[in-house]
Amino acid sequence: MSTTVLRTQDIARIVHATGLRPFLERLLATMEADFRRWPEFDKSPRSAAHSASGVIELMPIADATLYAFKYVNGHPLNHLRQLPTVMAFGVLAEVATGLPLLLSEMTLTTALRTAVASVMAARRLARPGSRTMALIGNGAQGEFQALAFHLLMGIDEIRLYDLDAEANAKLIRNLRACPALKLRACASTAEAVRGADIVTTATADKTLATIITPEMLEPGMHVNGVGGDCPGKTELHRGVLERAARVFVEYAPQTRIEGDIQQMPADFPVTELWRVLRGEAPGRSDEREITVFDSVGFALEDFSALRLLRDCALELGLGEPLALVPELDDPKNLFGQLSAEPLRPAKAPVTPRPSVQAA
């Protein structure tokens, strides 16, 4: 009854063994299939513990067969402590028994699934034939967004802007092995956005920012807002949302709390993306419409990623077993796990010495 454990290096091995493009394509197909099954899932907004420095969240979801959750944080200043701003792990379990099947890292996986979710929306909402994207905020998520849009949508030019010039340089260095993708560092958000078919914002600061303003919008533009993902954290001026022909979200009850639409009235109209994928609602209607995907990340995207990782691990023979659940000859005799080893009296507790204050 062991649980399979996947570490970060296992995820890297899966991607390398599969190939980046085929892996992204397979994740996209898995995610789209799950979104089309939207009514089959037990859904809820994620549970969040907010603090002045960030947020820690649990993201659960289940269908009739599998249950999944992700633990994830968001701490914008973690880079000052040499820590990632996002750290995550996830669990995939069997609904019929509650047995945990997979325990996986999800820091790297979250970056991959977020980029694929962006493409999943943009394929329906961006103008056909889009080739140019502005990428605002080029921290940990930047390369993943750039490659997903290049490999899955044919974006061949990306205009980069970040307050930290080194972030742009880092992204360009990391993607230098992709010569078909033209990367251009820009001096401002306005310069990067001008003439872009798609605008992706992926900033980390926990603040009510207005990175994209109405005067930056152009007919036919698709705005992919990735970084506004908790209360008090936005990237789009409310005028951007008001000018859009339609605003699309993953799960409205969660996005109204955490997304850019937290600025808007409670009855501000939005369309959940699953309805577009199922053909129940329109995406883009004409080439001059402005569309917005207010993406905060939803548990179903993690469910899809965990399902795919489990399949890939089985195919490639990756992962290590972990005795996370005790194996019992008599399931009612849990105490027997303790009595398997002699119980020794505890040592007397050591009373700590009082601290000595400096004179």
Distance of alpha carbon 226 from alpha carbon 242, whole angstroms: 18
Sheet holding 132-136, edge to edge: 182-185, 157-161, 132-136, 198-201, 222-225, 291-294, 246-249, 271-272
Cβ atoms within 10 Å, residue 136: 27
Distance of alpha carbon 288 from alpha carbon 127, whole angstroms: 8
Q: Which residues contact 209 (CB under 8 A, 6 or more apart)?
A: 203, 233, 234, 235
| Residue from 229, 260, 294, 302 carrying the catalytic annotation | 229
229 an active-site residue?
yes
Cβ atoms within 10 Å, residue 329: 6
> Which amino acid belongs to residue 262?
Q
The DSSP line for 167-186 is HHHHHHHHTTT-TTSEEEE-
Cα 87 to its chain centre, rounded Å, is 11
Closest CA to 263 of 295, 309, 228: 228
Cα 183 to its chain centre, rounded Å, is 23
- Write out the two tokens for 143: 């390369």
Surface-to-core class of residue 184, CB atoms within 10 Å of its CB (0-12 exposed, 13-18 middle, 19+ buried): middle
Buried b (16+ CB within 10 A) or exposed e, 38-60: beebebebbebeeeeebbebebb
Q: How far is CA 226 from each of CA 3, 249, 274, 308, rounded to the nearest angstrom?
A: 32, 11, 17, 23
Distance of alpha carbon 133 from alpha carbon 63, whole angstroms: 36
Please give the positions annotated as active site: 229
